A and B are shown apart, each in its own frame.
Chain A
Amino acid sequence: MKNRKMTPAMRRNLAGYLFIAPALVGLLVFYAFPMLFSLGISFTDWNLRLSPNFVGGDNYKNLFQDQVYLKSIRVTFYYTLLAVPVSNVYALLMALLLNMKFKGRSVVRTIFYIPSIVPAVAAAGIWMYIFNPYNGFMNQLMQYFGWDPQMWIYSPSQVIPCIVVMAAWGAGGTAIIYLAALQGVPTVLYESVSIDGGNAVHKFFYITVPMISPIIFYNVIMGVINSMQVFTQGYIMTKGGPNNNSLFYVLLLYRRAFEQTTMGIACAMAWILFVILGVLTVLNFALSNRWVYYGGE
């Protein structure tokens, strides 16, 4: 009986909200309070022990003059600018490779997946060997070609590019997402390009890329969000050095939250990051209208 009184729009709204209800409940229960709490704390001097005192915008103001903080922003942006394109290109290449039919494809795919499930400490151990300035793999390679050995992760200028290489290597997860996307491209479309006399390059740029563009878009956004929050390599391998050249934003935040227990400042850092990521994401979404093709819309 109600249905006769509901307009299609109302029915759509009801259905929509019903479907996203789990997310709404999750937001309310698991995120609303913590996010508001951390926002509130960012205006205090809480050190996790004493009662917090209101300090207004001091935390935010001081951060903009904090040399160590500003350095962490530069370091993190530099890393993100390198890591997102490099990882995505590598992952897409891998996915294209793994999408082809060849014998042993299952085994090869499993092998490519391994880097992303190796525990972080093991990965750190391996890369410390590869980048070891004394007889590490890279330097042995350099010597083979007659070049000078390098300090790699112990060099202020090379540490970030090294970590970018590690990130690309660990991009097996991203490759899987691309692989799933490639699976969704109807082969009919490729056939029609062949019929029209097109080659592999045509297929890639005129069919593949547009068809998987929503996923490329996803990986770029997630890549930015995750790269700006990179933590593990800095925490385990380089400890933020040398000379704070790998002091990633979230690493500094974590230290300030739990080692220095200046939670007020840490929360301020978190919300500044939130604004930065928000702006970047909105920009990305706005630009997406130009190049992302949604088959369903």
Chain B
Amino acid sequence: MKIRKVLSLGLAAVMAMGMVPAIPAAAEEPITITIVDWNTGVASDLQKAACQEYMDSHPGIIIDHQTIPYDDYNTKLNTLIAAGETPDIFYASDMAALNYGNDGVAQDLTPFYEADGIDIHEKFITPAIYETDGKVYGLAYGVVATIMYFNKAIFDEAGVEYPSQDPANPDTWDQWVEKLQALTVDQSGNHPGDDGFNPIATRTYGTLAPSWYYHLSAFLHSAGGSFFDENGFALSSEAGLRVIQAVDDLTNKYQVAPTPIAEDALPAVASMFKEGQLATYISGSYEYIDIAAENPEIGIAPLPMFDKPATIGWAACCEMSATTEHPDEVFDFFRWYTEADTNPCHIASNMPNEYKYYEDESLYDVWMDPELYNEDYRAVVPELMANYSNLPEMCYTKNAAQIFDEYVAPALDTIWIGESSVEDAVTTLGENVMSVYQGVW
């Protein structure tokens, strides 16, 4: 009967598909190294070309490289690990990196580097090293940092001095806010504090409130505070409250920033700068390419400080499987993959992880193409990264994903919405979060 024929044909076709082997039966010699990352687009092409280069120069090694889209990366990586198929080298999101190490999935890299005669702390900058208890479980590759962008034209027009571009002496927070007040105007030309200032009709915002807990950790560090410390909840300290209040004041007291709760709804920052709707912006260096595409003369400055200059740096953390069958070969490729000398794929769009790239000016062109990165960027960023940046606190909090996504971010939301005062929200947070808090690495 027709139906039966279709049925059997269909089944046969499916079986045939399944018979095609995914990996050809390997001879004894070639070693296959599996690597997964989340690079897409141009970065992915460069990456694949780099892997091909390694294979060409190392006969007997096959690199099995797979790209997993960023949004779903954790789902697949964790599935592979759970099923016992941990890739030999993999990216780990910064909040999970130390967990993998501690649970024996990621390898401690220190003995491998020592065998090669390298001191990790001397070679790699601080925010690139994911370490706990003397064990280095991951190395960041393609580092990014939080910096401040500013629109020089708006500053000039308002007759306001540029923010300090010296990483050792940035503007203080208060100095910065003062400037913002002079820069923020509504449609009628009024500044905040003037009679008739209408926040809904703001034409130019001083800034967008840096409300993401990553950026907040940089400011907390600058104020000598943190979300958590060895004694537990630390946000309720004087430094902590000071920082949160200061960020909230940007919107609700000084009216120099729109409400952070609806930040996603604003136009692209690049276009806001271009149209003169935004004076300054605190965010990751990864936004530089998009912003500079529309604003080639964009100014770059270090973050305003509370008590001391500080910013955060973080990245894709590369880790090596602790259960790999060929640790030496895998480590050889790992070094080749994470060091910019051999694999310059990431430093085209992000920052290098080794000191020498920051200290040796002749190398600047390698990672800051003069065609793409303007003078300001080249002047400010190297020193900022090399001397004033740290990993954000989240990387050291044990169950960071739960703490920050389920508790901290919603508590901050209540402040930004205006549902609760800073003290109340922080106190309530302190009471609620400690029941799930597991400590720091």
Contacts and interface: CB of A to CB of B under 8 A. Distances in A.
A127 to B, nearest CB: 11
A282 B361 CA distance: 72
Interface residues of B, number: 32
B401 A255 contact: yes
B414 A243 contact: yes
Contacts of A137: none
A50 B410 contact: no
B99 interface: yes
Given A49-B100, A156-B417, A128 B410 contact: no
B82 interface: yes
A47 B401 contact: no
Interface string A253-286: 0111011111100000000000000000000000
B399 A67 contact: no
Interface in A142-169: 151, 154-156
A136 interface: yes
B262 A154 contact: yes
A243 B419 contact: yes
Interface string A218-262: 000000000000000000000011111000000010111011111
SS class, residues of chain B in contact with chain A: helix
B410 A241 contact: yes
Given A259-B401, A260-B399, A244 B406 contact: yes
A136 B262 CA distance: 12
A48 B83 CA distance: 9
Interface stretch (B73-81, B127-135, B349-357, B379-387): B73-81
Contacts of B432: 67
A255 B405 contact: yes
B399 A49 contact: no
B262 A259 contact: no
A47 B103 contact: yes
Contact of B265 (A67, A133, A252): A133
Contacts, number: 75
B405 A259 contact: yes
A215 B401 CA distance: 42
A31 B311 CA distance: 49
B417 A243 contact: yes
Interface in A95-137: 128, 132-134, 136
SS class, residues of chain A in contact with chain B: loop
A269 B401 CA distance: 18
Contacts of B406: 68, 244, 252, 255
Given A242-B417, A244-B410, A258-B78, A154 B261 contact: yes
B266 interface: yes
A49 B265 contact: no
Contacts of B411: 243
B264 interface: yes
B264 A260 contact: no
B75 A258 contact: yes
A260 B103 contact: no
Interface string B391-417: 000000001011001110111011001
Of the candidates B258, B410, B411, the one having the most CB atoms from chain A within 10 angstroms of its own CB is B410
Given A48-B82, A241-B413, A242-B417, A68 B407 contact: yes
A277 B262 CA distance: 34
B89 interface: no
Interface string B40-84: 000000000000000000000000000000000011001001100
Given A68-B407, A242-B261, A243-B410, A260 B417 contact: no
Nearest to B93: A259
A229 B411 CA distance: 25
Contacts of A47: 99, 103
A260 B401 contact: yes
Q: What 7 A-B pairs come out closest when comparing CB atoms?
A: A49-B103, A243-B413, A154-B262, A48-B82, A244-B410, A132-B265, A243-B410
6 contacts: A47-B99, A242-B261, A243-B413, A254-B75, A258-B75, A259-B405
Given A132-B265, A244-B410, A261-B78, 5 more contacts: A50-B103, A136-B265, A241-B413, A242-B417, A243-B414
